[in-house]
Amino acid sequence: MSTAASLDRRARRRRQTIDEILDAALRLMEAEGVAALSLSAVAREVGMQPPSLYQYFASKMAIYDALFRRGAEQVLAVRREAARTADTDDLLELDLICLTAVSRWAMANPVYSQLLFWRTVPGFEPTPEAFAPALEVMQELRDHLRATVDAGLLHPDAATEDGVALYTSITAGVLSQQLANEPEATFEQGRYTRLLPVVLEMFHQRYAPPRG
pLDDT value at residue 198: 95
Q: Are residues 135 and 53 in the same domain?
A: no
Tell me how far the alpha carbon of residue 201 is from its chain's centroid: 23
Is the pLDDT at 10 greater than 90? The verdict is no
Mean per-residue pLDDT over the chain, rounded: 92
DSSP structural state of residue 35: G
DSSP structural state of residue 47: T
Q: What is the mean pLDDT of residues 145-155?
A: 97
Q: Are residues 6 and 84 in the same domain?
A: no
- 3-state DSSP assignment of residue 135: helix
Q: Are residues 201 and 106 in the same domain?
A: yes
Q: What is the mean pLDDT of residues 127-154?
A: 97
Picking from 19, 42, 58, the residue at the C-terminal end of a domain is 58
Going by pLDDT thresholds of 50, 70 and 90, the confidence category of residue 183 is confident
Q: Is 46 inside a domain boundary? A: yes
Is the pLDDT at 2 greater than 80? The verdict is no
Q: Are residues 192 and 103 in the same domain?
A: yes
Give me the CATH number covering residue 92: 1.10.357.10
Going by pLDDT thresholds of 50, 70 and 90, the confidence category of residue 14 is confident
Q: What is the mean pLDDT of residues 140-148?
A: 97
Q: What is the mean pLDDT of residues 136-154?
A: 97
Other Cβ atoms less than 10 A from the Cβ of 42: the count is: 24
Is the pLDDT at 71 greater than 80? The verdict is yes
Picking from 37, 58, 79, the residue at the C-terminal end of a domain is 58
Q: Are residues 52 and 66 in the same domain?
A: no
Give me the CATH number covering residue 43: 1.10.10.60
Q: What percent of the chain has pLDDT over 90?
A: 81
pTM above 0.85, yes or no: yes
pLDDT value at residue 61: 95
Q: Are residues 112 and 53 in the same domain?
A: no
Q: Are residues 46 and 67 in the same domain?
A: no
Is the pLDDT at 212 greater than 80? The verdict is no
Q: Are residues 107 and 31 in the same domain?
A: no
Going by pLDDT thresholds of 50, 70 and 90, the confidence category of residue 4 is low
Q: Is 143 inside a domain boundary? A: yes
- Spatial separation of the C-alpha atoms in residues 32 and 5, rounded to whole Å: 40
Return all residues near 200 (Cβ < 8 A) that are at least 6 apart: 95, 96, 99, 171
pLDDT value at residue 5: 64
Picking from 58, 90, 106, the residue at the C-terminal end of a domain is 58
Q: Are residues 11 and 104 in the same domain?
A: no
pLDDT value at residue 6: 63
Q: Which domain holds residue 19?
A: 1-58
Domain count, the chain: 2
pLDDT value at residue 62: 96
